[in-house]
Amino acid sequence: MSVIPRVEILARLGGRLLEGPAWDAPHARVLLVDIEGRRRHAVDWATGDVTTHEANETETAWIPRSAGGTVVVCRRGVRLADDDGVGELALEVEEERRSNRSNDAKCDPAGRLWLGTMSDAEDEPVGSLYRLDADLSLTRVLEGTTISNGLGWSPDARRMYFVDSPTRRVDAFAYDIGVGEASDRSVFVETTDFPGVPDGLAVDGEGCVWVAMHDGAALLRFSPDGRHVGTLDIPVPRPTSCCFAGPSLDRLVVTTAASDDGSGGDLFVCDVGVAGMPTIAFAG
C-alpha cells in the first residue's frame, strides 16, 4: 500500500457542496456543480480562470455532449444545454416523487447516461438508478437505493461500479457494453474499516478504483481485485468526488464539500502517478 503525495488547490470556489467533476476535453476545462449553492463552475485548465453560472434549481452533474454542448442533470431530470449549461428540460425523472432529487451521474463508454436519485431526507431507500440512452429513452435499472452515488466502468467496460453511500460499500456489476446492461451485482469492497462514507469515484488506466470518502479526509485506491493499495490524503474532511483531467488525463481532480469547521468547498488536484479513464460525453 502506498501513500500518495499531497494535493494542491486548483480553484478556490468557496462552495457548499461541490460535486460531479468532469473533464471537458474539447474545451480543456473541468466542469463541476455546487449542488447546495445552485451553481455550475467551469475551470480553464491552462489559466485556472473560473466561469460561474447561477442555477434556478439544484444541479448534480454537468457533462459534455458528443453532438456539441453539454447535458445537465438537475433536480427535475435532464437538460440538453449549450456550452454554458443553458438549455431546455429534455425529460423529467420521477415527476411523481417530488421529494426526490437527482444525484451522481456519469456516462458509460458508449455514451449512455447513468443517473441516480435520492430523497431530500437522505434516510429512506426510495431512490433509483437509471440509464438514459442516446434516443432519450429512460430505463429504471435499480430500485431501493438511499443515496445513489459513485459510478464508473473498468477499462475493458466489462464491469460497472456503483455506490449507495449508506451501505458503506462499492458494488460491482457485470456489464454488457453492447446493450448497456448491468447484472450480477456483487460487493467489490467494504469500506467500514476506513473513516468516512464512500461518495463519488473514478477509475484509472490500471483498472484501480479511487473512492472519495466523505468525512474521511481521503480518497482510497482499490485494485481491480478489491485490495486497498493507496491513500490520497485530502486537507479537508469532506471530499465528494473525483475525475481524471488534463490533456494526458494524468491529474486527479477532487471536489469537496464545506465542513462545520469552515474548510472545504474548493477544487483540488494531484499528480497521483497514473493516468485515468476519460470523461465520456453523452451520446444523446
Catalytically annotated residues: 199
Name 80's Cβ contacts closer than 8 Å, sequence gap at least 6.
Answer: 65, 69, 71, 87, 88, 90, 284
Nearest to 245 by CA among 204, 200, 199, 198: 204
Do 199 and 212 form a contact (C-beta atoms < 8 A)? yes
Q: Measure CA 180 to chain center.
A: 19
Name 104's Cβ contacts closer than 8 Å, sequence gap at least 6.
Answer: 19, 20, 60, 61, 115, 116, 148, 149, 150, 151, 163, 200, 241
Return the sign of the alpha-carbon dihedral for residues 56, 54, 113, 214. Answer: negative
Integer CA distances (angstroms), 196 to 182, 230, 273, 278, in order: 27, 16, 24, 27
Do 232 and 241 form a contact (C-beta atoms < 8 A)? no
Do 165 and 214 form a contact (C-beta atoms < 8 A)? yes
Look up residue 244 and give its three cell numbers: 481524471
201 vs 21: CA distance, rounded Å: 10
Look up residue 107 and give its three cell numbers: 456516462
Name 177's Cβ contacts closer than 8 Å, sequence gap at least 6.
Answer: 108, 109, 110, 157, 158
